[in-house]
Structure 1
């Protein structure tokens, strides 16, 4: 009782540094061991942190000290590593998406259920004060009954800055699978699960050029859609319009807006934990910021893992497998609709995650 949860991290790429920094300041968690295909990279990643063992993947899975496996591998390896953790009898928390394909994600959830272990998944940014304050405003009736939302992400593509961007342009990547989880998880948090979708998509360029690092100037193939748009029909009846693109340059559109019968909200970037929530109620002359009223204050990547680890048995974690599977189902269905030209019913559903009262992370 009172001991921190020991975390075994698999994958020490770029995102791992943010997790390590957050876990270092969360008393509920402790990084016990890390593993990576490149052991030198793993050693370098944990060099600032004392007492962390660098192991092979099999060693980490077998280590009895490890309570939960934090899966930070590339999307194509998410299911494989999750299944290995489950087979070892350990809870597992994945970077988004839960898997590169819905069929693989389903295998993970079924295996976890059979083994009696739990599955969690990023993004946990929606647990911060930005999305949670907006959610509380909706729940408190500040905009009346929600009827619509927009979500927009527009960028030229991650190959500009990432030295090894190949995985962004293969199945499991693209703007929808890479950035969509932030936006769709936020929309489900705000408006509830999705019943059906209709989409359209394009792939204007067959190759991308790496813009930085030792491979600068190298061309890589594009095998996924790089501009995806569509409409999500929420079970509540609200309609969300989504645009996810690696083919634009910039946009002045809010990341997310939610419109109700008596007001509208601007919701901050769901890739961040905080930010100003703006309200324009009927009769207001202008937008006004709302004070932070819900969510984890000072949160960083990894707070969802802490929330997951402290969720009582029998309660679905806020960043849980059911939500992550539903979000993946929505994204795959949106792409299926884009390619078929027909609307698609969403087979899965989930409970709207529990709200986060305002508290320090």
Structure 2
């Protein structure tokens, strides 16, 4: 399958870093409206650059257009690519408005094409291990889930100096304008809905808690930098999801079930540490000793190990190229999954109704201040 990239900003280098993991994909070239950025990207990676978007869309060899543009451009670029007869893999969210996302899904269906969405961490080795463990019922029926997408106070760091491998600046101002929820909630939602099914209702709150993001940011309109949502799944599971740009970095997920719990340390890590705590199993020695120490000292200790024992991964057949910490995600895995599904004549996992549901939930969390609560999604899968 030949693919082409539209957009060569910061995230595009993550996709290029992981392209080699998927030899069935072949990159035809890239295009960006910023000619200087396109030149820097294509020169660094030694790939062809299209002279304009039309040239990319009319290239008969391209099967999938990978839309890596800014969120407010997703709708237009994706719609044009579908109209040109191309399958599309789109960075999150599918669109900035639910009606636009619905229109894109309908357009893809009418054209007999697939429209899949990021993030690819829902296809990670860690997700598969958790999915297999839950399916084996080792901890019984899940009841409650805590998920966090806290990025830490990045606005207090030297973000203006951050660059990707090919020299693209980290789009800090744009991140503050779009908001932490639309940018990051999808990383948790992709896990939640594939593990526990569609959401029946959610109650959310969002706020701009730090309007002053430092020098050079006063001229932009800030989006909420904190959100929390309580999600009720049709399966009966209840989840709490927080997203933010102020609290300490935390990208964990905890599943509390009838017979124990699972803890995923980092949803941005393809093979994150995962601990299982089974009610009937003996507690690890260190945990027991620290509990006794707390009782003897009469106060809580500042650190305790993750409850339970670490789950082993199956042997990895070959090492994968992944971006450096903290974004240790196989970004191109979603595109590869889409290509494989197309070859089989099937729908990719993160496409169609599922992609729309994730988008609607992220929009509802981000726009909580403007929506009636509880919010009942009109999408499902």
Structure 1 and Structure 2 fold alike (TM over 0.5): yes
The verdict on how the C-alpha distance between 1:19 and 1:254 changes in structure 2, with shifts beyond 3 A counting, is closer
**Larger-gyration structure (1/2):** 2
The verdict on how the C-alpha distance between 1:42 and 1:30 changes in structure 2, with shifts beyond 3 A counting, is same
CA RMSD after TM alignment: 2.2
Residue 91 of structure 1: which of 62, 65, 87 is its match?
A: 87
Residue aligning to 1:213: none
Task: Establish whether residue 190 from structure 1 lines up as the match of residue 229 from structure 2.
Answer: no
Distance in 2 of aligned mates of 1:296 and 1:145:
32
Residue 271 of structure 1: which of 257, 268, 271 is its match?
A: 268
Q: Is the 8 A contact 1:151 1:240 kept in 2?
A: yes
Corresponding residue SS for 1:47: helix
Q: For residues 14-58 of structure 1, what are the alpha-carbon distances to aligned partners after superposition, in whole Å with 9 as ceiling and x for unaligned?
A: 111111122234211111011001122112212244452333112
Q: Is the 8 A contact 2:68 2:91 kept in 1?
A: yes
Corresponding residue SS for 1:308: helix
1:295-306 equivalences under 5 Å are 298=320, 300-306=330-336
Q: TM-score, normalised by structure 2?
A: 0.82
Residue aligning to 2:176: 169
Q: Is the 8 A contact 2:259 2:279 kept in 1?
A: yes
The verdict on how the C-alpha distance between 1:290 and 1:156 changes in structure 2, with shifts beyond 3 A counting, is closer
Q: For residues 309-341 of structure 1, what are the alpha-carbon distances to aligned partners after superposition, in whole Å with 9 as ceiling and x for unaligned?
A: 110455321222322210111122334554456
Residue aligning to 1:209: 214
**Unaligned runs of at least 5 residues, structure 1:** 211-216, 351-361
Q: Is the 8 A contact 1:200 1:339 kept in 2?
A: no
Q: For residues 64-113 of structure 1, what are the alpha-carbon distances to aligned partners after superposition, in whole Å with 9 as ceiling and x for unaligned?
A: 12111000001110111000100101000011111122111111111111
Q: What is the aligned residue count?
A: 336
Corresponding residue SS for 1:219: coil
Tell me whether 259-268 or 23-32 shows the greater mean CA deviation: 23-32
In proportion to residue count, which structure has more helix? Answer: 2
Residue 308 of structure 1: which of 334, 338, 342 is its match?
A: 338
Distance in 2 of aligned mates of 1:232 and 1:223:
25
Corresponding residue SS for 2:10: coil
Residue aligning to 2:278: 281
Tell me whether 287-296 or 101-110 shows the greater mean CA deviation: 287-296
Distance in 2 of aligned mates of 1:29 and 1:203:
41
Distance in 2 of aligned mates of 1:295 and 1:78:
35
Distance in 2 of aligned mates of 1:33 and 1:289:
42
Q: Is the 8 A contact 2:151 2:245 kept in 1?
A: yes
Residue aligning to 1:320: 351
In proportion to residue count, which structure has more strand? Answer: 1
Q: Is the 8 A contact 2:200 2:234 kept in 1?
A: yes
Residue aligning to 2:292: none
